[in-house]
Structure 1
Amino acid sequence: MNIVKIKNFSLGLFLFCIMGNGQSLNVKTGEGEDDKISVTMGGRIVFDGALYFDDKTPLGNGTTITDTRLTAKMTYKKWDVKIDMGFNDKKVNTKDLHLKYNINDRSWVKLGYYGEQFGLENWEGSAWQKFMTASVSTQVFGTSRQLGITYVNWNDKVYYSGGIFSDNDAISDVKEGNQGYAFIGKLSYAPLNSKKNLIHLGISAEYRTGNRNGVDENNNTQRFMNYSSNLDTRVEKKKPINFTLDQVKNQLRFVAEFITASGPFFLQGEYYNLHVNRRKEYHSYDAYGFYAQSGLLLLGDQLYKYNLEDRRLKRPKDKTLELVVRYDYTDLNDGFFSNESLKGGRINDFSAGINYYLNKYIGFKINYSYLSLGNNNNFGTKENINLLQGRVLVVF
């Protein structure tokens, strides 16, 4: 029994060391060079602190661990498996659970639970986002993780993908009624991609039936959609926008995107548009939002680089200091009807930040945000909020 315990402890310590160094463990399964399983362990820990000023709504200053992840990746020949679990708010949360088949070095198919390819910022990894959170527009109009299948193909100029997904309840499957479904497609084009200069254009579109919300007295599935955002922070849990739309038949949304970069400078933006069809006795609903963000590399790395496989900017090199600014406008007020007013709130948001990439494992962020909340927000009153926050990020 003691020998078994010692072996288990040794194995656990060995795997922990692998996790800490982000290395892979290769296990031979046959005679061929590629007859092996490669296992990589990793994760992240995010420490955040926030201070709020001039707020009418009581907001809690403080510090917390906003994200803790443990990740396992396994590769066998052309097959990849990823298991990513989150541990926050005293809960275990499913992040990514998927199986991926690499058709060749420029196309693949993925099946499982993961984020849809919709826009740019929506599926940017939270570990190296330019700010503490995605923009309000991306939070409101973007998509969350869903159960589905996606096909992707790309070359030096063109990138396209298409997928079929279920609704938000598929991973837990606790509500009555028929699950909803969605079709989503993405197309991007890089007419200029040289060593120092980049132009990227793209568009994504989605058709979704809505999320199921039980059944009515006639056993018909009821559907709804929820649109929400935080205050550019994960410390304070109150949401200035948290709008639920019922009697949904389906929704159409699209996002147009662009990136341009030249040497140590980049500019990125997205425009979102949403249209929701509801049951015939209810008005349809429209909303929109956009953001633009820019960055400048001050010290260290002096060149933004482009990732062809992800169609996003790469993380700057080690020991690099970056200045970033962002403006966001989100409008969920659609009330131009004689019999009904659909108003979810409006937010103007300006943010500025400094990011320091010490190495590929550790980063630091300082953000300032000014948020102007318009009529019909979830707090019930117009107000302006100033926010200062910092982050220490550990990725292993």
Structure 2
Amino acid sequence: MQTRYMERSNSMAAPPAREKRGLDSSSGGDEGQPERKRPALASVIVEALKVDSLQRLCSSLEPVLRRVVSEEVERALAKLGPARLSGRSSPKRIEGPGGRNLQLHFRSRLSLPLFTGGKVEGEHGVGIHIVLIDGRTGHVVTSGPESSVKLDVIVLEGDFNNEDDDNWTQEEFESHVVKERDGKRPLLTGDLQVTLKEGVGTLGELTFTDNSSWIRSRKFRLGLKVASGCCEDVRIREAKTDAFTVKDHRGELYKKHYPPALNDEVWRLEKIGKDGSFHKRLTKAGIYSVEDFLRLVVRDSQKLRAILGSGMSNKMWDILIEHAKTCVLSGKHYIYYPEDAKNVSIVFNNIYEFSGLIANGEYYSSDSLSDSMLIAW
């Protein structure tokens, strides 16, 4: 059976006219040949275009969306009641004047791992939100001078308050503040102050200039405290994050990507160390990128397993494949035309997985195909 392949992508130039058999009725045909109906291949290409266009649109809108999300989160935090905000049983209270129990809290987890020189962000790239609550009610303090207080962002020892006893004193908190090493730049740089608005705020850009390996716990925490000269007659309990490690930025050069990209070098995958034995075996076999790796997974996974050798255990293999399959595929598709099937062509994605069929001018995704339909064609 003679076959022909055609690659279609929004990033590729149109193929020669002779390769458009069955694809474009407007291109004409041989004299006397009936005009072919334009198949629904366009729907496949449109979907591919949608994917790439959406990716470009999301990239351009990302800064705007982050700002809008941060603003909406701040509004939502200010409206949440005690049942939603407390998140744990009531802590021991630090009573201030009038019996008020004012507490600062981080409402975002940090995106880990952190590296020197890298931006400190919340999980999934969102802002790091903070709130001031009344510990007696769990409500955000939205009015009064305390609701617009200015705060300092500082670095704490990772082992501060390991007992999770929230009833620390100001002196205990201050005694665990970490400063830069002698002769080094300030440990934390960027927007080191934040001002609350109606009891809610978002940290600005922050960067660590040094790793955490030199202190006793080998971990840091971010902390918040009231800036000097603000609300000195009221005790507002400080806030702290969970402990975390800051690694030297050189480690970032070797870190894995989650998810990996198609054009990432193959060692970005779990269990494949840069310049290690598995990496060398793969490159020797012509597998340089994550896309190359995934294509061989689809075409001949046993061959790929043999390339990696006996040093790759079943558990390692499962972790490797699971990580690789989190890769986001592009909108590129390949169309396969069997010469003996006049009205049917087969669609594959860019790693050669079967995506669907084009039959009699209609596109059928792989999920919609039944055994009887496949037999009939």
Shorter-chain TM-score range: under 0.3
Return the structure number with greater strand share.
1
Between structure 1 and structure 2, the one with the greater Rg is 2
Whichever structure has more helix as a proportion of its residues is: 2
Higher normalized contact order (CA 8 Å, seq sep 6+, divided by chain length): 2
TM, length-normalised to structure 1: 0.19
